[in-house]
Structure 1
Amino acid sequence: MEPNIEPRRRPENLRTPPPTPQQSPGRPPSLRPTAVTTTKGEPAVSYTRQVCLFMGVILFGVGLIGFVMDNFLGAHLSYAHNIIHVVSGILAIGFGYYSHLAAKNYSYTFGAIYGLLGIIGFVVGQPGMPTVGRIAEDRFLWRIRPEVLEFGTADHIIHLLIAAIFIAGALYTGKRRPTQPTASSR
């Protein structure tokens, strides 16, 4: 005769909890949105995300302004150049809003791309008269596609500055607590 033995059950406190929205089973962990919190549970803001969001707004704005002023900041802003700025601005805003890791990866990638554009422009640029932007002769004019996409000295400098800001933002890993309203500001 066999003894009647019940299967062992796990105690209630050891059961695995149901997945939370942060642990959505359909996405791998690296693609899930993450909320950064401090040790006290308060939300913290990543400087990398802030830089990505800020630069996204700047790129988007410069892209829109470029449609009206084709020589804004001394740059050669053609239709194609403005579209590139608008798209990269929208991407920066999206990645900056999504998560710290996404903002960091975007900042490294686009920082490298903009940095290479600036460096290559100074290396291969030749003296010439631009056909875009109604600007005088340029010493380091790089004609990627004449009358469509041309980069001059101002473009190269701006691209290097954008690269430096994106890469510096990605390298800085600090987080900032949101400020608490003071009694005088209520």
Structure 2
Amino acid sequence: MIAVWTCRVLGVLFTIAGVVTFVAGDSGDFAHNTIHLVSGIAALGFGLTRWARAFAVVFGGAYLMLGVTGLALGELHAGPLHLMTGDHVFHVVLGSGVLAAGLLSRTRQVFARTTRSG
């Protein structure tokens, strides 16, 4: 299922990026780094469950909305979080891809056994 692999790859990449930015001492945007780390851990977790498709749809949709809103409004400062045009473009691209992976994944179907008398 594509959503499972998308969650797993996204999870690994975001978790690594979050850890590296903290270890490297890039505390310029602590909130942003924390969001990436938490998102990565969540994606990894959901990538190991039957909820990967739902996570991909929700996460992808949220990132896409964040990116589109950011492009419409320009540079955003939401509390300690600072998002610029590059962030918005990244969110649109990533959100579109993850949302597509979720929407294109099939849900697992449970087939009932039928017995025939004969």
Specify the TM-score bucket, using the shorter chain as the normaliser: 0.7 to 0.9
1:117 to 66, 75, 85: 66
TM-score, reference length from structure 1: 0.52
Give the aligned partner of residue 22 of structure 1.
Answer: none
Identity of aligned residues (%): 33
Match of 1:160 among 88, 92, 114: 92
Structure possessing the higher radius of gyration over alpha carbons: 1
Retained in 2: the 8 A contact 1:52–1:169? Answer: no
1:135: which partner in 2? none
1:144 is aligned to 78
Q: Does 2:46 match 1:95?
A: yes
SS in 2 for 1:98: coil
Deviation at 1:164?
1.4
Q: Structure 1 residues 69, 158: CA separation in 2 closer, same or farther (over 3 Å shift)? A: farther
Distance 1:152 1:108 in 2: 24
* Partner Cα separation in structure 2 for residue 114 and residue 173 of structure 1: 18
Corresponding residue number in structure 2 for 1:53:
8
Unaligned runs of 5+ in 2: 107-118
Corresponding letter in the other structure for 2:12: V
Structure 1, unaligned runs of 5 or more: 1-45, 71-76, 126-140, 175-186
TM-score normalized by the length of structure 2: 0.80
How far the C-alpha of 1:69 sits from its partner, in A, is: 6.7
CA RMSD of aligned residues (A): 1.9
Q: Number of residues paired by the alignment?
A: 105
Distance 2:102 2:55 in 1: 9
Q: Which amino acid aligns with 1:143?
A: H
CA distance in 2, matches of 1:160, 1:59: 16
Tell me which of the two structures has the higher relative contact order, counting C-alpha pairs closer than 8 angstroms and 6 or more residues apart: 2
Deviation readout 1:77-122 (Å, 9 max, x if unpaired): 61111111111111111111012xx000000001111111101111
Deviation at 1:173, TM superposition (A): 2.7
- State the secondary structure of the residue aligned to 1:150: strand
Give the drift of 1:64: 2.0
Compare the two structures and name the one with the higher helix fraction: 2
